[in-house]
Amino acid sequence: LDSPSCVMDRAFFTDPHSYFGTNPRKELEKQDAELMREISLTSATRFPLLKAPSMTKASAFPKLTDKGGQRYVSEANPAIKFSHGTTTLAFVFKGGVLVSVDSRASMGSYIGSGTVKKVIPIHKYLIGTMAGGAADCSFWERNLAMQCRLHELREGKRISVAAASKLLGNVVFQYRGYGLSMGTMIAGMDEKKGPALFYVDSDGTRLKGNLFSVGSGATYAYGILDNEYDPDMDEKAAVELGKRAIYHATHRDAYSGGTINTFVIRESTGYEQVFKGDMNELHYGQYAEEAAAEAAAEAGDAKVSMDES
């Protein structure tokens, strides 16, 4: 992969107006109408036995934004950088690395899927998360998995997390300006150096750290994480924290939701999914119970203190 195999017209990303012309919406509608005409024409004349599709108005196609027909939200309003509709988090703790993600894929205000697998296993001791463009993340991380396997075959030992994240970062940097959208975390276990966590994004940023959260819901997750994170937590506490942080993010962020998937990467056994639960079930189940219990405890305390005074 020395050079991109498909060269795109970058003008499309830097200045869509110039690409579309002065009135983008009319242009698109014209194109759509022409396409529909062509389809119905083709099927009628060439395949008379096929029923022509019912004529739908081009503008009935789901518009991803109501900003004049542009199809990429971030280009519609560059001041508001649309930060990858998702919440993913990962942190290093005593027992390894914990990774927790949601499972919603949104296209603007349309929920594309509620069951996206945002954790991509690279090998037994290394996983990557997905935020941003699903295709970009899954393709490049699978490509990274291939490179890691080759490394292992050539060198006879596992690739380090630092090197794996460096490979991904370098590749992504080559495509800088081509419109890749990825905010991923590479989390894993080194044979000698222990747990490691790197944040890699499509700008080419690569950061080593102990705690990261990526996505539109990251701020909500950070609120919970920064409050309760302790590098000496045991696994149970870490899983609970990862669950809770994602839950809070999915509760408040419109672009995060679905099921919460939590993984732990342990030194001895590699990665394992330790939790998979719908956030609504948590909301009305475990957390509702906890809130009720807390309220009861507080009421009990208040009563005791009232009796005393």
Partner 1 sequence: AKERSAQPSAHSGTHAAAMSYDRAITVFSPDGHLFQVEYAMEAVKNGTTAVGVRGKGTVVLGVEKKSAAKLQEPRTMRKIMKLDRHVSLAFAGLVADARVLVNKARLECQSYRLTMEDSPTVEYVSRFIAQVQQRFTQRGGRRPFGISNLIAGFDADGTANLYQTDPTGSHTAWKALAIGRNAKSVREFLEENYAEHATAEEKGDVDAPIKLAVKALMEVVESGAKNIEIAYMKPGQPLKTLPADKVAAMCKEIEKQKEADKRKKKTKKTAK
Residue from 71, 117, 123, 166 that binds partner 1 (CB under 8 A)?
166
170 binds partner 1, rule: CB under 8 A: yes
Q: Which is nearer to partner 1, 33 or 171 (CB)?
A: 171
Within residues 136-165, the interface with partner 1 by CB under 8 A covers: 155, 159-160, 162-163
Within residues 179-198, the interface with partner 1 by CB under 8 A covers: 192
How many residues touch partner 1 under the rule CB under 8 A: the total is 9
Q: Which is nearer to partner 1, 77 or 170 (CB)?
A: 170
Q: Is 262 a catalytic residue?
A: no
Q: How far is the CB of 224 from partner 1 (least distance, A)?
A: 31
Q: How far is the CB of 267 from partner 1 (least distance, A)?
A: 18
- Residue of 65, 86, 87, 184 marked active site: 86
Q: How far is the CB of 122 from partner 1 (least distance, A)?
A: 16
In 3D space, the residue among 71, 52, 75 whose CA is nearest the CA of residue 63 turns out to be 71
Q: Which is nearer to partner 1, 169 or 242 (CB)?
A: 169
Within residues 88-147, the interface with partner 1 by CB under 8 A covers: none
167 binds partner 1, rule: CB under 8 A: yes
Q: Which is nearer to partner 1, 46 or 192 (CB)?
A: 192
Q: How far is the CB of 166 from partner 1 (least distance, A)?
A: 6
CA distance 127 to 145: 9
Q: How far is the CB of 160 from partner 1 (least distance, A)?
A: 6
In 3D space, the residue among 111, 119, 94 whose CA is nearest the CA of residue 214 turns out to be 119
211 binds partner 1, rule: CB under 8 A: no
Q: Which is nearer to partner 1, 120 or 167 (CB)?
A: 167
In 3D space, the residue among 225, 205, 212, 194 whose CA is nearest the CA of residue 165 turns out to be 205
Binding mask 241-270 for partner 1 (x = CB under 8 A): ------------------------------
Q: Which is nearer to partner 1, 160 or 262 (CB)?
A: 160
Phi-psi region of 28 (alpha: psi -120 to 50; beta: other; left: phi over 0): alpha
Q: How far is the CB of 159 from partner 1 (least distance, A)?
A: 8
Catalytic site positions: 86
Site of interaction with partner 1 (CB under 8 A) = 155, 159-160, 162-163, 166-167, 170, 192
